[in-house]
Amino acid sequence: PPLLAVKIASIIFATAVIFFFYFFLKRWQIRWPLFYTLILLSIPAFVFRINLAKAGPLSIIVLLIALSLIWQKRYWALGILSFFYVWLHGGWGLMIILAACAIISDLLINKWALKRINWKLIATVTIGLTAGLIINPSFPNNLQFYWEQVVQIGLINYQGIVAVGVEWYPMKITDFLTTNVLGWILTIGTFSVFLWRVKTGGATVNKEKFKQILTLYIFSGLLAVMTLKSMRFIEYFAPFFILANAFLLDFSLPQNFSPRDEIKKFWKKNAVNKIIVSYLLITWLVVFIGKNIELRDFTVKGFSWQYLAGASEWLKQNTPERSLIFHTQWSDWPMLFYHNSNNVYTAGMDPTFFYRYDQELYKTWVTIGARQETKPEEKIKNDFGTNILLLKLTEKKLLEQIEKNPQFVLKYEDKEAKIFEIQ
């Protein structure tokens, strides 16, 4: 069954990205990979995003593989990966940003020696992505789609005009900090160790290692800005932010450093140290468990997969195929479409496509939903070309207006929705 397949795929994708994160650390010989993986799993917003029925986790995996290929200078493989990234996920533009971060870090290490610009990397990513766009079953329509999705929705973002999904709205600074408590504690600890090593002269300069660290920090810094603009990017920011700290901490600590031995020494010194260690351990457990319980409580309060199934079935049986159904909330489209793909609907995901297609028609749709039209039947019939209206019982004010209008005849009713026909 499709819903079962979606659930299984979501579990596989979410699990895969955690494994790739862990083995990425192992591949680059970063100590204590499990520790950093557990910190990543303590970020509820990240865990929530990777468990959605989307290909987001696969996009993160592609970026991790791409970063390894960049550092290994395996350009042919990177070009092929870039090609398929376009086919896989709409976030392929992040490949350009990642490559740019690698080039900038290289320039910083080499004191902006422009002759050191990695033209092979630029050419590889550009050719791979361009080929993926052109050698594409959706070409040339995909170019218009990406213009709308990447530029208009992703970069410009009409959140002040269009009621877009919550993921496109900015993340509050307080939420940005509190959702990643352990990550920020790790950051403070990492920079403290790094500055101490620099001050004591213990940090040995390794250009390649430092380029990797710079790349990760520049990339995660840009992702942080993107997250503050649109909270959906937390799924990208979180893993690369943790990776940046992991690489810097590994770079800063002596090779013979053993956390277990140091904690034992610290523990044995006096009673105060025992209290400190116990407090830190308990705090970590409370935050880790608490955040995951919070996430679980949020996710179990979902909606039934049978939501709007009755109304959808009635529409399927009683309206012509491909006829338009007028509804006022775009977020209802996924369930309507899932239960009934015979009809078409006024608005789906993302409503910015609707706004960009016809701004005046979009405004009319909004005013009808907001009960600002005195004769909604005329607008629905003449402007939208349909005589079928679906309203949920939760749309009480609009429902009250429609039920008082003799032009709307009730055709179907259940505990979730009502369907009206315009005479």
In tens, the pLDDT along 167-206 reads 777 888 988 888 888 889 899 999 998 898 888 876 666 7
Rounded Cα distance, 383 and 361, in Å: 7
Q: Which of 72-81, 141-150, 374-383 has the highest mean pLDDT?
A: 72-81
- Return the pLDDT at 301: 63
pLDDT bracket for residue 402 (50, 70, 90): very high
Query: Which of 225, 257, 289 lies at the terminal end of a domain, its last residue?
Result: 257
109 in a structural domain:
yes
269 in a structural domain:
no
Top-confidence residue, 292 or 247: 247
131 & 16 share domain: yes
235 & 324 share domain: no
301 in a structural domain:
no
pLDDT bracket for residue 386 (50, 70, 90): very high
- Return the pLDDT at 73: 94
Closest C-alpha to 295, from 37, 34, 51, 38: 51
- Return the pLDDT at 168: 75
The DSSP secondary-structure symbol of 326 reads B
196 & 340 share domain: no
Top-confidence residue, 297 or 402: 402
- Return the pLDDT at 340: 92
- Return the pLDDT at 226: 92
Inform me whether the pLDDT recorded for 286 exceeds 90: no
- Return the pLDDT at 281: 80
Q: What is the pLDDT of the chain when averaged over all its residues? A: 88
Rounded Cα distance, 405 and 412, in Å: 16
Residues above pLDDT 70, as percent of the chain = 93
* Stretch 109-138: mean pLDDT: 89
AA identity, residue 64: L
Query: Which of 216, 231, 257 lies at the terminal end of a domain, its last residue?
Result: 257
411 in a structural domain:
yes
* Stretch 305-312: mean pLDDT: 90
* Stretch 223-229: mean pLDDT: 93
- Return the pLDDT at 113: 67
Q: Against a cut of 0.95, is the pTM above it?
A: no
349 & 215 share domain: no
103 in a structural domain:
yes
148 & 55 share domain: yes
* Stretch 274-300: mean pLDDT: 75
- Return the pLDDT at 204: 65
pLDDT digits (tens, 9 = 90+) for 41-99: 988 889 989 988 888 999 999 999 999 999 999 999 999 999 999 999 988 999 999 99
Average the pLDDT over each of 26-35, 109-118, 293-302 and give the range with the smallest value.
293-302
Closest C-alpha to 29, from 63, 56, 69, 68: 68
Half-sphere exposure of 246 (CA within 13 A, CB side): 26
Q: What angle do CA 139, 141, 147 make, to 5 degrees?
A: 115
Region of 211 on the Ramachandran plot (φ > 0 left; ψ -120 to 50 alpha; else beta): alpha
Inform me whether the pLDDT recorded for 307 exceeds 80: yes
User: How many CB atoms are closer than 10 A to CB 144?
Assistant: 10
91 & 224 share domain: yes
170 & 64 share domain: yes
230 in a structural domain:
yes
248 & 129 share domain: yes
Q: Which residues pair with 390 in a beta bridge?
A: 419
226 & 323 share domain: no
pLDDT bracket for residue 302 (50, 70, 90): low
pLDDT digits (tens, 9 = 90+) for 347-366: 887 788 888 889 999 999 99
In this structure, the chain runs to a length of 423
Query: Which of 228, 257, 286 lies at the terminal end of a domain, its last residue?
Result: 257
136 & 221 share domain: yes
Inform me whether the pLDDT recorded for 128 exceeds 80: yes
pLDDT digits (tens, 9 = 90+) for 147-173: 887 777 777 777 677 776 677 778 889
Q: Are 106 and 93 in contact, with CB atoms under 8 Å apart?
A: no
235 & 314 share domain: no
Rounded Cα distance, 6 and 106, in Å: 41
- Return the pLDDT at 255: 77
Range of the domain at 378: 309-422
What is the domain count for the chain? 2
362 in a structural domain:
yes
211 & 315 share domain: no
Inform me whether the pLDDT recorded for 118 exceeds 90: no
Inform me whether the pLDDT recorded for 320 exceeds 80: yes
By three-state DSSP, how is residue 321 classified?
coil
276 in a structural domain:
no
Rounded Cα distance, 95 and 89, in Å: 11
